[in-house]
Structure 1
Amino acid sequence: MNHRSPLGQFFDRHASAWTQTHGHLPVTDRPESGPASAGEHDLGQLWQPAARATADFANLAQALELELHPALADFYGQFYAGNPGFDAPFGAGELLQPWNEEDFEFLQENLIGHALMKQKLKQPPTWFIGVMADSDLMLVLDNSDGSVWLELPGQEPQTRVADSLAALFDGLSPRVVLPEPMAMEPERPGFWTRVKTMLGHLTGRR
């Protein structure tokens, strides 16, 4: 499938790399069904991005009384998909994507929680779009100009890695690592667990 958007083009490269390396589409360990499901695998499900009508983030903008940079909808609003892994000059990680509509609603709730934390800390708003593999750093969009940064939860962005989403995707190489068998590594909690912990700090701050 040949998508014309920068994100769609990265999905094309990602699927091609998986097919060349493993002989099949990417694998996710997500157990629930979703529009991107494309078959079964011993370690989960095969997936390919499923285009959707562009998602509306107006409710998020209204809840936060904030004008959102259009890059946020460009990233999260085009597809249902698994989380594609990447290698980059700044490290390895995975991009986040909504798997189904329930997941998209959960995503928006967490984006609001993240933004409220930034407001409480009197920091400029950012939007998480990925997680790094070997650290607690997140990949985030700067709401002011759509640039992409590395950010430690609770802190301001620390390293600018791309001027835009298109520039980010140009610099990423697909990562084609199969999921671990069901036992997840307890010492490396999943991204959403880390987000919940981060947001828990918000309510605990004075």
Structure 2
Amino acid sequence: MSVSTKLDKLHQAFSEKCLERTGKLPVIEHDTAWPSPCEQGEVDEKGLIQWCAVPQQPAGSLEDLAKALELSFPEDLSPLFGHVYAGNLLLSIDDHHIELLQAWNEDDFSRLQQNITGHVLMKRKLKQPETVFIGLTEQDDLLITVLVESGEVCLEYVGKKPHHVLAKSISEFLDKVTV
């Protein structure tokens, strides 16, 4: 099964869990200056808006970024960020509560690429293996990253080398996470 299909299934499960718990799709604080094609319905009395993942048209790609950084990103990295516009997914893996990053809109996809660039350049400066962050954990300084060279999904403290492999690939990682 492709990463895009696995991501669709995770978004569906996340939306269903939110509907089951709250009677609403996932919600996010609405920002009129930061609209997204995934927004659903009207802003509620708390300033929140529901969202549902929608396909990016055309699909976003990290190929130009990889070329600019003179890297070959793992094949599954582009669909992880370029398949849909959506809010971040709240998931669990190996007793960690994580937030899998997603692109909210086209500008967010561009900002994500800028952040990846900064992260890769920092890793080079520190003479550490190059990684791309894909998620956050309950600890402010602990990231979910992908090792560029191997494609492994790891835990990594900010400014440190990855220290724990969660999955051998993005595809395996998506199989292991739970909603």
Taking structure 1 as the reference length, what is the TM-score of the superposition? 0.78
Looking at structure 2, the residues matched to 58 and 14 of structure 1 have their Cα atoms a distance apart, in angstroms, of 29
Q: 1:33 aligns with which of 19, 32, 35?
A: 35
Q: 1:82 aligns with which of 83, 87, 90?
A: 87
Question: 1:121-153: CA deviations, max 9, x gaps?
Answer: 111111100000234100011112222101011
Taking structure 2 as the reference length, what is the TM-score of the superposition? 0.89
Q: Which residue of 1 aligns with 2:176?
A: 171
Q: How does 1:1-206 map to 2 (within 5 A)?
A: 5-31=5-31, 32-39=34-41, 40-41=43-44, 42-52=46-56, 53-174=58-179
Aligned residues: 172
Displacement of 1:50 in angstroms is 0.9
Identical aligned pairs, as a percentage? 33
Contact kept, 8 Å, 1:7 with 1:169, in 2: the verdict is: yes
Question: 1:17-52: CA deviations, max 9, x gaps?
Answer: 111111110012252211111122325211011101
Letter matched to residue 33 of structure 1: P
Contact kept, 8 Å, 1:139 with 1:150, in 2: the verdict is: yes
Cα RMSD (Å) of the superposition?
Answer: 1.7
Secondary structure in 2 matching 1:97: coil
Letter matched to residue 45 of structure 1: I
Looking at structure 2, the residues matched to 136 and 90 of structure 1 have their Cα atoms a distance apart, in angstroms, of 17
Contact kept, 8 Å, 1:130 with 1:140, in 2: the verdict is: yes
Runs of 5+ unmatched residues, structure 1: 175-206
Contact kept, 8 Å, 1:27 with 1:47, in 2: the verdict is: yes
Contact kept, 8 Å, 1:86 with 1:93, in 2: the verdict is: yes
Letter matched to residue 36 of structure 1: C
Cα distance, 1:17–1:113 mapped onto 2, change above 3 Å = same
Contact kept, 8 Å, 1:27 with 1:43, in 2: the verdict is: no
